[in-house]
Every structure is written in C-alpha cells, then in structure tokens.
Amino acid sequence: MAKLYFRYGAMGSAKTMNLLAVAHNYEQQGKRVVLIKPALDDRFGADLIRSRAGLVRRADICVNADTSLNYEDFRGADCVIVDECQFLSEYLVHQLRNITVDLDIPVICYGLRTNFKTRLFEGSKRLMELADSIEEVKTTCAFCNRKAVYNIKLRSGSGCATGEEIELGAEELYQPTCCRCFEARIGAQNPLRDVDHLVELWLVRHGETNENASGILSGHIEAELSPRGIEQARALKPKLSNIYFDHVYASSLKRALDTAHYAGQDPEPVDALREFCFGDYDGRPIRELPKDWVDALYTFTTDFETPNGENIAMVNARVTSFLNKLAPGRYLIFAHGGVIRTIAKNLGADRFIQNGTALIVDWTHRYIMGTVE
Ligand SMILES: [Zn+2]
C-alpha cells in the first residue's frame, strides 16, 4: 500500500535538491510524478521549485490553504512529491493522506520541521501526526560540526525569536543550528528555557587561592589565585562562552573578579556577594582556631558566632536580599565557597563546591538544576 512520507530537515539541508533528484529518478524510469508546492512560497515565480544548488523545475499544482485537489490530476501518477510542506494547511495534508489511501499513490512531503521559534509549522505538525514514514534529511550546524536541529533567525548577527513565523525571501536571515549554538545566539527570548519568567543563577566558586592551598582562612581578606586556581578559571571559559547570560556579577573580592576575567567574563562587582567576614579569625591558619568553631564552620548545620564577623544568618540575609532583586533572566555569578554553600543551604541542599566549579540554580522555584565541573 502506498505511504505518506514526511522528510523533514533544518534550513539548508538540501531537501529541495533531494526532492528534485527523486522526481528525476522516477521520470528516468518512464514514470509520472506530480509536483505540488504551496502558492504562498512565490519567491521564484509562483510555480517554480528551485534548489539552492540552482536546479529548477515547474510545479504541476500550486496550492493555497483551501485548495481542493482534483483526483483527475493524479490519474496514472506513480508518485506525488510536495515541496515546502511546512506551509500546507491541515486540510491539504488530509487530502494528501487520502491520495495514498484512495488512489494508492505514494506522497513524499519535504519541508522544515520547526520555525525559528522552535515550534512545529501547521503542515509539519499534521504530517508528524499522520505520516506513515518520518525521515530526517540531515545537515550540519552553521556554526559548528554538530547536526542541525533548529533554525535560527539572525538579525544584525544575533538570534531573535520574535516576529512573524513566515518571512519569505529572507533566507539569508535563517541558519540551521544545533541546540548549543542556538542557545548561544538566541539571547533574551530563548524559547528553550523559561528564563523570561525565571531567575536562573550560575554560581561559580573562584579558583583555588594560595591561602586555600595552605589552610589559611580567607573571608574578607584579599587572596591571590594560585597557578592551579588560574588554570581552573581558564578551564571555565569554553564551558561558559556558549551560554547566554543576561548579566555577569562577581563578588568584589579580587579572587572572584580574577576568576571571572580568566574565564573570559567582564563582571560587575557586588559587595553583597563577598565571602563571610570572619572578623578576628580572618587570615589565620585554620588549625590555630577553636576546634568547636571550625567544626561548626565545616558542618554548617548549626550557626556559629565569629568574633567581629558574620554568621550564616547574616550572610544569608545580604545574599538573598541581592538575589531577590534580580529581574527574570540568566545570571552568571562569581562568588565564594561559603556564599554558594549558604545559598545551597537556603534551598535545602547543603553543598560545598570545589574551586572552579559551578552550581546552576532555579532561584524562582528554589532548586538546584545541576552543576558545571
Ligand atoms: Zn552548533
């Protein structure tokens, strides 16, 4: 029995060339092909089907959303081939389905799966639902070597996810992309994440300092990144460069700012993100401090009092106050082990993360989404 085929791909996946080659093969064998295209797509003359590689041929039937196909046009046909099927109406897809059943003629539809907002087109949606066979025509991301899955619309070089679904004659605006390159370019209206409603935090702990390495308690004292810490910060660069952030902040302490710079970021310094002030204990070797106090600091379960310094409740208050003022968006924040641990504890998931790693937090719903290591 004849089948309904949906062959989908991203922009530039040579779907039309594939289509013209299939038509050519049928005709080489003396068979008859009926070519259909939506009239909507009239860039090259209403009835012309043209591949990017320059091949052209005339469509036999141009359809609008409400076109009723006449079975007489298909008598004796061996195959029906449809170009730009994403633009078909449901009504047309139903008729194509009927041709496979009533006339026993295979119908092969070529088109895009999704629009630049990553949503199915009307025709593609109905074909996904009804086709006997769904095949992907693969292509490579315009920006890397991964497989393209989405189409990005570029406006002045950066991605955009607003505007009309169909903007014909503007192909140069669209590029096939993989998921990662799409995210890196799409900016604030990313349809893949709900950041328009959420505050998402990427909390990075600064790279190792000389003091970390030698067991010196560092709160508000300045500490220098060790060579290992600089390595850790540099290693963050490729992990962060492909992610869109609405804003980048860092604790105003040098080790956090330096980590951000080595990671290729240009942060705004914020005092509220500084490490605990450890008062009289700041800058002293941890092994010389009262054992009970050190135990309380390490376990983080009961609050501790530091002479002339801050406790967990105080740090939590200043950090939470800063985070609660953030507008919806995705934020990259370079901070400290104690600050990030305080935020994690606030979320009910106490966690002390390693130097040069990050915690990803959905601050709106108060949970930890993941880590970057
Ligand atoms: Zn890519």
Domains of the chain: 4-139 (3.40.50.300), 199-372 (3.40.50.1240)
Q: Work out whether strand 247-251 and strand 174-177 pair parallel, antiparallel, or are unpaired.
A: unpaired
Residue 310's pLDDT is 96
At 312, list the tokens.
């967990």
Q: Ligand 1 centre and the CA of 157: distance in Å?
A: 15
Residue 258's pLDDT is 98
Residue 369's pLDDT is 85
Q: Ligand 1 centre and the CA of 12: distance in Å?
A: 14
Q: Ligand 1 centre and the CA of 289: distance in Å?
A: 51
Q: Ligand 1 centre and the CA of 242: distance in Å?
A: 10
> Catalytic annotation on 275?
no
Measured distance CA(76)–CA(82) in Å, rounded: 17
Helices 337-346 and 312-324, interaxial angle, to 10°?
80
Q: How far is CA 238 from CA 82, 215, 372, in A?
A: 42, 30, 12
Of 84, 208, 211, 275, the catalytic one is 84
- Count the neighbouring beta carbons within 10 Å of the beta carbon of residue 69: 18
Q: Ligand 1 centre and the CA of 183: distance in Å?
A: 9
Residue 140's pLDDT is 93
Q: Ligand 1 centre and the CA of 150: distance in Å?
A: 10
Q: Ligand 1 centre and the CA of 355: distance in Å?
A: 29
Residue 197's pLDDT is 75
Q: Work out whether strand 61-63 and strand 150-155 pair parallel, antiparallel, or are unpaired.
A: unpaired
Measured distance CA(110)–CA(8) in Å, rounded: 6
Secondary structure in 3-state letters for 268-291: EEEHHHCCCCCHHHCCCEHHHCCH
At 234, list the tokens.
């540099």
8: region left, alpha or beta (phi > 0 left; psi from -120 to 50 alpha): beta
Taking the whole predicted model, whether its pTM rises above 0.85 is answered as: no
Low-confidence ranges of the chain (pLDDT < 50): none
Could you tell me which of 125, 129, 117, 110 has the C-alpha nearest to residue 38?
Answer: 110
Q: Ligand 1 centre and the CA of 293: distance in Å?
A: 50
Cβ partners under 8 Å of residue 194, min gap 6? none
Burial 336-367 (b: 16+ CB within 10 A, else e): bbbbbbbbbbbbeeeeebebbbbbebbbeeee
Q: Ligand 1 centre and the CA of 232: distance in Å?
A: 25
